[in-house]
Amino acid sequence: MSQPGTPPDWDEVRGQMRAFERRIARIEERLELPQAVPPPVPIQPAAPEVSRMALAEGASAIPVLGRALLGLAGAYVLRAITESRALPQQAGVLAGILYAVLWLLWAARTPTGRRVEAALYSLTSALVLGPLLWEATIRFHAISTWAAAAVLFLFTVFGLVISWRKNLLLVATIATLTGVLTAAALLIGSDDVMPFTFLLLAIAGAVEVSACLDHWLSERWLTAAAADLVVLLATYLVTNPRGLPEVYAPISHAALLAAQMALLVIYLASTIVRTLLRGFTFTSFETAQLGLAFLLAVGGGLRLTGGNVRGAVAMAAVTLSCAAACYLVPFTLLARRGEHGRNFHTYATFGILLVVAGSLILLPGLAAAAVASVLAIACLTGRATVLHWHGCLYLLVGLVASGAVAASTGFLLGGGTGYTLPGSVFWEGAAALACYTVAVRRDVPGRLPRALLAGAACWLLGAISASALAAVYHGVFGDAAPHAYCITLRTIVLALGALLLGWAASRRNWTELKPLVYFVMLLAAYRLLMVDLGQDRKAALVLPLVFYGSALIVLPRWMYPPRPSMS
């Protein structure tokens, strides 16, 4: 018990009350009385508390805003002192830079929960540094463009570093935005491209280093877009037909080529570190940005070197080296780890794209097509399903690059009187037939790849057969023989080709050929209606109509034979 005149011990009172409640409960249990249910405690809505917190935060932001305005006033005082020559210009600029850095440091030292305060101090730092560098570089010429670029880079990196420990994304974002936007303004105002090109590349590199350590991932798109645009701008200014405008500072080809390669190296190295060393999965940003980096580096390098053979060889060497690495990574390193997910397929896709690009850069069209055909056969002999798809794509690249597809299509569906085909149709037809033969013998899974290979082989072989029949026709009847019969021979070849495909699909159980039957019959119908019916000699329509009608009768019986009736 407490002594008279002393305040009661509330903890002791609460303990006695709990003991009293337990005794009453035991008595009720012995007497079998219903226990009293305590009334529900009403839940107080949190809205008033939240509103009070928001009001408190807003009220606390008012003094912070006042301090930020005082900070801007201090910057104007420094500017006035520098303009009055009381302080040398370089010294005034240095003092302003240190003043902005102090505000950024103050923002980073703000407690974690005070986001408004950190934002205002960071904005104060940005509003001090940006105009300061603009006037010092553009108006007073107190510092050079390279010095301004160096200051912006150090400021941005300082913002990233000091916000690292508390993971202050807001401070890091404002520092990065200050570097990027001020660099863009100075580039436009000074007409000096290269200092700020390398600055934006360096900022992008710093952000990618942070991303490799799983920091500041949301800022990557901003710095990547700025780096892409500045490299694209520099490349356009140098390579456009009118040349570099006179108001711009000179841009050397070596510096621009270094910037293009630096863009590629930054994002290629970042992707390799994140996906291979850190074990992260390819993101959509990394896939798109790496593709853009390759396009800007290789495409820009080719525009820069022009017709220079050495430059083309160098670009092709870079592209093919990266292609070899992209092929080795999934089929050696990732395959040993048992990883066949997104990283595996993304690296393999980059591999085939870079091989195609490097081959087209290094070799003329026909030679690149021949290499693609050889690679198609080699990929189809592999075991991985990805390689089978790559074989189909390599064959299609060879068909397009050699002009075989265009020549065959124009001959089979056109109404021209000529019957000679370029040599590429013959050796690409042999390559397509070899690819399909390999796919059948190795039992390549998947109907679509085999259908693509079979379609390419049949289309080219059909053009070759139609050309050979036309040559025989003119050889027998002479060059003066009516061309209408020669032209309708192509419809006959399409109908016979559909019959051959239908027979193979039914007898050999090559189900991938069935869709091709319908496709070839549709093309034959198109040719019959749009080309053959327009011939002057109507007698020439007899044979194509006979063959096409016969195909319509026979094909359903082959492809869908009637089932034996159950007795």
Which 3-state string (H, E, C) describes 199-244?
HHHHHHHHHHHHHHCCCCHHHHHHHHHHHHHHHHHHHHHHHCCCCC
Q: Are 408 and 421 in contact (CB under 8 A)?
A: yes
Closest CA to 125 of 148, 96, 89, 93: 96
Helix axes 514-530, 542-559, angle to 10 degrees: 160
CA torsion through residues 485, 489, 495, 499, sign: positive
> Tens of pLDDT along the chain (567 residues)?
444 445 556 566 666 677 767 777 666 666 654 544 444 444 444 444 444 444 444 445 567 666 667 667 766 666 777 666 777 778 878 888 898 888 888 888 877 667 778 888 888 888 889 888 998 899 888 899 999 999 999 999 999 988 887 788 888 999 999 999 999 999 999 999 999 999 999 999 999 999 998 887 888 999 999 999 999 999 999 998 888 888 899 999 889 999 999 999 999 999 999 998 888 999 999 999 999 999 999 989 888 877 678 888 888 898 999 999 999 998 888 877 777 788 899 999 999 999 999 998 888 888 999 999 999 999 999 888 899 999 999 999 999 999 999 999 999 998 777 778 999 999 999 999 999 999 988 888 878 898 999 999 999 999 999 999 988 988 888 877 788 888 889 999 999 999 999 998 887 778 888 899 999 999 999 999 988 888 777 788 888 999 999 999 998 888 776 665 554
Domain positions in the chain:
364-476, 482-508+515-562
| Distance in angstroms (rounded) separating the CA atoms of residues 220 and 271 | 12
225-235 in b/e burial notation, b at 16+ Cβ within 10 A? Answer: ebbbebbbebb
Closest CA to 112 of 50, 171, 49: 171
* Chain mean position to CA 376: 25
| Distance in angstroms (rounded) separating the CA atoms of residues 527 and 316 | 43
Closest CA to 425 of 438, 436, 409: 409
